[in-house]
């Protein structure tokens, strides 16, 4: 049984696999590895998928659809022939073609695929992608995020040192920015930012309008076929420009020969409004990642539109350094998916390669509005961009005297009022009969990498209610398996036995010390605790590594009675790097106030909505 990796793109899809120890892209019937994500319908003949459909888009724009990935997970439908089709069904057709083609090329049956999705895809979009694969006859155990796949491919090409990266994925319809940290065998997406309506298509539109302006054509009055032809010319000229630095445009429109010249400078001007949007996205991303340009090791350009010289020029001006451009930017994500498929096939190595995702939206519960308004507001439990798996526990108190019950309502979204967010479910539990504000419940949210949310509510009598929210119906066994797995995640790093034991040893040293030594130990304990509670894999690892190193020095000092840890040079030399980083965490913690895993947060007077 073979496993393939698939980049199911908005504009183009690709498949990759490991064959005879080598990573390969799988070419289609026409020898091309890029498979346009387009579907057309021909009366009495049936469906066209891929390049044939893309070509037909020119002559029959009404019977051909493309870019349907932009509407994945929504209610939008497309008419083809006498039936309406969802983006899920259209994606299934593309996947089915890729599967069939791979079987033909590899001469092997393909049962399973690793499919990539944008990091910001929500539950519905992810489950629709899985469904599409199912319809195409592919088993998808796990979706991986496009930037994680790109980071895998980057590591394979550039080496596996620790790195902080921004993956700049500029495709046909979208721009996705991801802040990714790579260390050991961990690829952690720290933050994502993006624009669903900013891509190569927008550049084509800008060139199209420029061409019309230059030739006094009024876009709105042109028939769809003529417009499609101009658009096609615009895209071709754009691609020619990135190959040769200049492009002459010429086309007969309504019997008249129209011309325009496209140069790098003209295109740079045309792209100005897009660059403005890009800059804003960078700022947003760095803010969310709590980072600065100077802390990034590389900016990795991915996606077909990253081939444009003007985009590279803009980025090197913006960042003050040259971006890394991997060969054939539009294949990088598929190559990463192929690498992951290889890892999966070999089975045993999968445990070594940890791809951590982020939660692309905030998950929380409804609480009483403090301003006294009727509308309940969202109290975030797991914030957008938290690293998964994540587990957060908070305490909430009653708002009425002697109320019998608390109803915990669970929501997903970024809006202030709960009604504007997506309601996911609810759990009711009895509470101790006490005056308002005195009875409480502990609410714990645990969210895993498969998009399954486990909510546990416990009252002060120790009674527990729980609910498992998944984007697909789960069988009884699956439910049990997930619940077991969740229990492991529910133990945040600070509560894990080996870390608790380590901290306990520091506390012992602390108790037995005085003066400056005691102060130093206090600072160490603070540093380790913050790291373990940070919710970021890298910070947890640094805390553990430093704690181990310090402990062994403390022990050595105790044995030799040399107190060099506190007087000598060794400590000074750590100080520069490690304590600086510790300060960084401090500010992060201030920003995130209380959302950290395992913090003993009391919900600070938050009132539950009952």
Calpha distance 16→334 (Å, rounded): 6
State the binding partner of 130 from ligand ADP, Mg ion, none, CB within 5 to 8 A by kind. none
Distance (Å) of CA 219 to CA 200, 230, 237, 518: 19, 10, 18, 75
The span from the first CA to the last CA of the chain, in angstroms, equals 54
The two three-digit tokens of residue 550, written as one number: 């310090």
239 in contact with ligand ADP (CB under 6 A): yes
Q: How far is the CB of 7 from Mg ion (least distance, A)?
A: 6
| Closest listed residue to residue 288, CA positions, set 414, 399, 121, 186 | 414
529 in contact with ligand ADP (CB under 6 A): no
The residues, ordered by sequence, that sit 6+ positions from 569 with a Cβ below 8 Å of its Cβ are: none
Nearer to Mg ion, 86 or 174 (CB): 174
Q: How far is the CB of 121 from Mg ion (least distance, A)?
A: 12
β-pair partners for 424: none
Task: Name residues contacting ligand ADP, limited to 9-28 (CB under 6 A).
Answer: 9-12
118 in contact with ligand ADP (CB under 6 A): no
User: Would residue 146 show up in a list of annotated catalytic residues for this protein?
Assistant: yes
Q: How far is the CB of 70 from ligand ADP (least distance, A)?
A: 9
The two three-digit tokens of residue 44, written as one number: 């009495």
70 in contact with ligand ADP (CB under 6 A): no
Sign of CA dihedral 405, 410, 414, 415: negative
User: Would residue 99 show up in a list of annotated catalytic residues for this protein?
Assistant: no
State the binding partner of 589 from Mg ion, ligand ADP, none, CB within 5 to 8 A by kind. none
What is the greatest pairwise CA distance in the chain?
95
State the binding partner of 336 from Mg ion, ligand ADP, none, CB within 5 to 8 A by kind. none
DSSP element (H, E) containing 123: helix 123-135
Nearer to ligand ADP, 117 or 539 (CB): 117
Classify residue 137 by its DSSP letter.
T
| Closest listed residue to residue 385, CA positions, set 600, 116, 119 | 119
Residues that bind Mg ion (CB under 5 A): 9, 171
Among 307, 344, 393, 537, binds ligand ADP (CB under 6 A): 307
Calpha distance 165→193 (Å, rounded): 14
User: Would residue 7 show up in a list of annotated catalytic residues for this protein?
Assistant: yes
Task: Name residues contacting ligand ADP, limited to 316-335 (CB under 6 A).
Answer: 330
238 in contact with ligand ADP (CB under 6 A): yes
Catalytic position from the list 54, 63, 69, 131: 69
Catalytic position from the list 89, 123, 128, 169: 169
The residues, ordered by sequence, that sit 6+ positions from 476 with a Cβ below 8 Å of its Cβ are: none
Nearer to ligand ADP, 149 or 532 (CB): 149
User: Would residue 69 show up in a list of annotated catalytic residues for this protein?
Assistant: yes
The residues, ordered by sequence, that sit 6+ positions from 103 with a Cβ below 8 Å of its Cβ are: 109, 110
What's the number of CA atoms in the CB half-sphere (13 Å) around residue 432?
Answer: 16
Calpha distance 355→145 (Å, rounded): 9
173 in contact with ligand ADP (CB under 6 A): yes
301 in contact with ligand ADP (CB under 6 A): no
State the binding partner of 451 from Mg ion, ligand ADP, none, CB within 5 to 8 A by kind. none
Among 206, 308, 397, 502, binds ligand ADP (CB under 6 A): 308
Sign of CA dihedral 15, 19, 21, 27: negative
Q: How far is the CB of 136 from ligand ADP (least distance, A)?
A: 18
β-pair partners for 248: 261
State the binding partner of 200 from Mg ion, ligand ADP, none, CB within 5 to 8 A by kind. ligand ADP
Catalytic position from the list 63, 146, 330, 607: 146
Among 40, 172, 366, 451, binds ligand ADP (CB under 6 A): 172
Contact 33, 26 (CB under 8 A): yes
Q: How far is the CB of 336 from Mg ion (least distance, A)?
A: 11
Q: Which residues are catalytic?
A: 7, 69, 146, 169
For ligand ADP, the binding residues (CB under 6 A) are: 9-12, 171-174, 199-201, 235, 238-239, 242, 303-305, 307-308, 330
């Amino acid at each position: 049984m073979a496993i393939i990796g698939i980049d199911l793109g908005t504009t183009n899809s690709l498949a990759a696999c490991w064959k005879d120890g080598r990573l390969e892209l799988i070419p289609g019937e026409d020898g091309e590895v890029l498979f346009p994500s387009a579907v057309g319908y021909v009366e009495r003949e049936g469906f066209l998928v891929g390049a044939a459909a893309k070509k037909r888009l020119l002559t029959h724009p009404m019977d051909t659809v493309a870019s349907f990935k932009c509407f994945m997970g929504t209610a939008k439908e497309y008419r083809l022939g006498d039936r309406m089709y969802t983006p899920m069904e259209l994606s299934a057709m593309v996947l089915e073609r890729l599967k069939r083609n791979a079987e033909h090329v590899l001469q092997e049956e393909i049962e399973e695929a690793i499919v990539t999705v944008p990091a910001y895809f929500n539950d519905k979009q992810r489950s629709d992608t899985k469904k599409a694969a199912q319809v195409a006859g592919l088993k998808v155990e796990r979706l991986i995020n496009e930037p994680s796949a790109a980071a895998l491919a980057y590591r394979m090409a550039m080496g596996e040192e620790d790195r902080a990266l921004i993956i700049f994925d500029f495709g046909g319809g979208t721009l996705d920015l991801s802040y990714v940290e790579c260390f050991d065998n961990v690829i952690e997406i720290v933050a994502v930012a993006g624009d669903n309506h900013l891509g190569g298509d927008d550049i084509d539109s800008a060139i199209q309008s420029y061409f019309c302006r230059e030739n006094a054509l009024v876009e709105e009055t042109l028939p769809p076929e003529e417009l499609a032809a101009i658009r096609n010319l615009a895209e071709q000229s754009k691609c020619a420009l990135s190959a040769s630095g200049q492009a002459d445009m010429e086309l007969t429109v309504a019997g008249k020969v129209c011309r325009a010249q496209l140069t790098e400078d003209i295109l740079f001007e045309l792209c100005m409004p897009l660059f403005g949007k890009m800059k804003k996205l960078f700022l947003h991303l760095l803010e969310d990642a709590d980072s600065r340009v100077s802390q990034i090791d590389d900016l990795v350009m991915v996606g077909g539109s990253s081939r444009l010289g003007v985009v590279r020029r803009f980025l090197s001006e913006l960042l003050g350094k040259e971006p890394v451009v991997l060969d054939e930017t539009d294949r990088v994500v598929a190559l990463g998916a192929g690498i992951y498929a290889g890892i999966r096939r070999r089975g045993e190595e999968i445990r070594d390669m940890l791809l951590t995702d982020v939660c692309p939206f905030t998950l929380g519960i409804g609480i009483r509005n403090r301003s006294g308004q009727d509308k309940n507001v969202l109290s975030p439990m797991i914030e957008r961009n938290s690293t998964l798996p994540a587990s957060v526990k908070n305490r909430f108190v009653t708002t009425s005297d002697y109320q019998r019950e608390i109803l915990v309502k669970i929501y997903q979204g970024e809006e202030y009022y709960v009604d504007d967010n997506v309601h996911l479910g609810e759990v009711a539990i009895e509470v101790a009969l006490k005056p308002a504000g005195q009875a409480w419940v502990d609410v714990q949210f645990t969210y895993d990498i498969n998009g399954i949310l486990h909510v546990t509510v416990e009252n002060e009598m120790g009674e527990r209610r729980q609910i498992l929210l998944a984007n697909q119906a789960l069988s009884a066994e699956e439910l049990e398996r997930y619940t077991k797995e969740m229990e492991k995640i529910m133990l945040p790093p600070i509560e894990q036995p080996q870390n608790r034991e380590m901290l306990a040893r520091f506390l012992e040293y602390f108790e037995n010390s005085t003066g400056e030594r005691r102060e130093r130990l206090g600072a160490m304990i603070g540093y380790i605790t913050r790291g373990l509670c940070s919710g970021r894999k890298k910070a947890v690892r640094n805390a553990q590594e430093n704690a181990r190193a310090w402990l062994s020095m403390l022990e050595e000092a105790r044995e030799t009675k040399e107190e060099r840890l506190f007087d000598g040079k060794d400590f000074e030399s750590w100080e520069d790097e490690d304590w600086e980083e510790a300060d960084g965490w401090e500010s992060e913690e201030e920003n995130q106030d209380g959302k950290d895993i395992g913090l003993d947060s009391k919900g600070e007077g938050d009132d539950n909505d009952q």
